[in-house]
Structure 1
Amino acid sequence: MWQETIRIDGPYNFDSVLERHAPDPLKVLDLAKRTIRVPVVIHDSSHAVQVTAAGTIHEPSFIVSGNSDADKEAIIHRIAEIFQWNVSLANVHDHFEKTDLKEIFDSFVGTPLVLDFDLFGSLLKCIIHQQINMKFAYTLTERFVKTFGYEIDGVWFFPQPETTARLTVEELRPLQISGRKAEYMIGIAKEIVENGLDLDASKNQSDEEVFERLMKIRGVGRWSVENFLLFGLGRPNLFPLADIGIQNAIKKLYQLEKKPTYEEMEQYKQGWEPYLSYASLYLWRSIE
């Protein structure tokens, strides 16, 4: 058993992170104890890692703990990457103080862009979540992971690409995953196993390179890639124009009679660069 205390610059609202994750049945967390348990895979080794908030919004600190000393430094690096502890939210906040989003950023100060725990799982979730409400999306994802994934110390891990590539559409249909989505999910896994798609390598690729590679895969459209860039890779300047939540948030913010057009959204977002991902995140928060 090991534990490490990490201190970062504020603001950083970890309680907001926990609140956003709480509706997801796959997340193991305790709001009162300010803890969340995270599945981390380093090479071929799987670890259930606990993260506990020990500080405040403006003086944040965290206790990271695990059961095995193996891969400790790599685990801490991955946890810091997931929770985006290297991003200065003070700089982001200062930028938006001069924009139309000032009031929203003041209301949700220190809300970070937290990554999905698993890159392959992040891309599969983009497929599962298409065109269904969030509650049902959580349900389908939980069914998939608990049927074909694996569990360590009460923490669930997405099935590996090799496992998913061997599945059939008929095995996924009883979970209420549509035949077409099942084909897409299996296809993505086969792209990794058989055709050399390296999701880890995408961390070092430009947004354009990631778009070019992923859009070649059947079932992966622009919305899916944008969500993968946002929540898989933590890219700071993504603004999904087709996202209904963002459209509704802008409609509310500017008191529009109907949802904004893409052209109107292009106009609104001009002052929000180079932090469009945070504009997206805080706009979502404003209507949650």
Structure 2
Amino acid sequence: MWKEYYHAPGMYDFDYALKRLSLDPLINVNKKERYVDVPLKLAENDQCVVRVKAEGTIEKPVFSVMSDHDEQQDVIFEHIRNIFQWDKDLQEIHDYFQGSDLSLLFFTYPGTPIVRDFDLYGSLMKTLIHQQLNLRFSYELTSRFVKAYGKEVDGAWFYPTPEEVAKLDYEDLKQLQFSQRKAEYVIDTSRMIANGELDLKEISRLTNEEVFKKLGAIRGIGPWTVQSWLLFGLGRDDLLPGADIGIQNALKRLWKMETKPLKDYIEEKAEDWAPYRSYAAITLWRSIE
């Protein structure tokens, strides 16, 4: 067992990050002890579970990273740092919004981080499954999928590989209560990844616009799915989904409007929040939870 500490810059509300992560029944979170167990795929047959624990406060964030996987400690630590985006100075982002129409929200909810999903492929599968479903059933359906075809290691769940999902029939997922179309989207996309037509690591290096073009051309992947993957799969800083109902409800309350603002109006106003529109989005969502 090895253990390493990290002092993040600025501020960081890890307890809120744990609260969001705890919504997913596949993720082992202990809010009282302030830790989460992160399943990491280092290579095709090299998996490990890493415990990430808060040791400090919002104002002075310190984290411990522990694992009994003694090899590739530097690689593991880099993965964890990228997932939790500890190099982002949230104090700097907080200061950026002072004087804006979101200043009160950032004062009320300081240090709200964007935590990336643990795996690019798992993130895309989760996003595909969640689209057009209510939150409760979307997590239930994702859990059925992962528990049926994934792997549990030390209490942490790993998503199945694209190669494993590519071998499934649509009927296999329909037995889990997937619709025919959702089963097709999940399996067909996995087949594209498995046969090399779609390289998620390569796509992750593209600009937002290029990712929209590349993923948006795939059957079943629309703008909401691409935006969600960019935000939570890649942790991009500057995305605000103006069509999202939660964003619309939060801004309706913030702006004291009688009806929800329209997508085009939101996106026009949100130009003032660039280049940190993703942090505006996560803070707006938090304001109505």
Q: TM-score, normalised to structure 2's length?
A: 0.97
Instruction: Give the stretch that moved more between structures: 190-199 or 116-125.
Output: 190-199
1:171 matched residue in structure 2: 172
1:163-203 CA distance string (max 9 Å, x none): 11111110001211111001000011111112431111223
Distance 2:196 2:157 in 1: 27
The one-letter code of the counterpart of 2:139 is: Y
Aligned counterpart, 1:3: 3
* Corresponding position of 2:31: 31
For residue 88 of structure 1, report the CA deviation from its aligned partner.
0.9
Q: Which amino acid aligns with 2:33?
A: K
Q: Which residue of 2 aligns with 1:246?
A: 247
Tell me if structure 2 keeps the 8 A contact 1:246–1:283. Answer: yes
Question: Is the 1:9–1:58 contact (alpha carbons within 8 Å) kept by the matching residues of 2?
Answer: no
Give yes or no for contact 1:8–1:60 (8 Å, CA) kept in 2: yes
Hey, what's the Cα distance between the residues in 2 that align with 1:225 and 1:258?
Answer: 27
Question: Could you tell me how far apart the structure 2 residues matched to 1:30 and 1:93 are?
Answer: 27
C-alpha distance in 2 between matches for 1:30 and 1:170: 36
Residues 75-105 of structure 1 deviation map (CA, whole Å, 9 limit, x = unaligned): 1101000000011111110111121111111
| Structure 1 counterpart of 2:192 | 191
Native 8 Å contact 2:240 2:267 kept in 1: no
Offset of residue 230 of structure 1: 0.3
Amino acid at match of 2:89: S
Matched, 1:257 2:254: no
Structure 2 residue identity aligned to 1:29: V
1:226 aligns with 2:223: no
SS of 2:175 mapped into structure 1: helix
User: Partner residue of 1:14?
Assistant: 14
Q: Secondary structure at the match of 1:204?
A: coil
Q: Deviations over 1:210-255 (max 9, x none)?
A: 1111112110011110110000001100111211111111111112
Letter aligned with residue 23 of structure 2 = P
The letter of the residue matching 2:34 is R
Equivalent residue for 2:41? 41
Q: Name the SS for the 1:151 alignment partner.
A: strand
Q: Distance in 2 between matches of 1:6 and 1:265?
A: 37
Q: What is the rounded CA distance, in whole Å, between the counterparts of 1:19 and 1:193 in structure 2? A: 33
**2 CA distance for matches of 1:178 and 1:116?**
24
Aligned amino acid, residue 94 of structure 1: D
The one-letter amino acid paired with 1:262 is K
1:106 aligns to 2:138 (yes or no): no
Aligned length: 288
Runs of 4+ in 1 over 3 A off after TM superposition: none
Unaligned runs of 5+ in 2: none
1:209-220 counterparts in 2 under 5 A?
209-220=210-221
Q: What is the CA distance between 1:257 and its match in structure 2?
A: 1.3
Map of 2:204 onto structure 1: 203
| Per-residue deviation, 1:107 | 1.2
RMSD, aligned α-carbons? 1.0
Deviation at 1:263, TM superposition (A): 2.7
Report the secondary structure of 1:242's partner residue: coil
Q: Is the 8 A contact 2:10 2:92 kept in 1?
A: no
Q: Contact 2:25–2:143 (CA<8 Å) still a contact in 1?
A: yes
Higher alpha-carbon deviation: 228-237 or 5-14:
5-14
Report how far residue 10 of structure 1 moved: 2.4
Q: How does 1:270-281 map to 2 (within 5 A)?
A: 270-281=271-282
User: What is the CA distance between 1:266 and its match in structure 2?
Assistant: 2.4
Q: Is the 8 A contact 2:36 2:52 kept in 1?
A: yes
Comparing 32-41 and 252-261, the one that deviates more: 252-261
Read off the aligned partner of 1:148 and give its amino acid letter: Y
1:40-91 CA-to-partner distances (Å, cap 9, x unmatched) read 1112211111001101111111110111111211111010000000111111
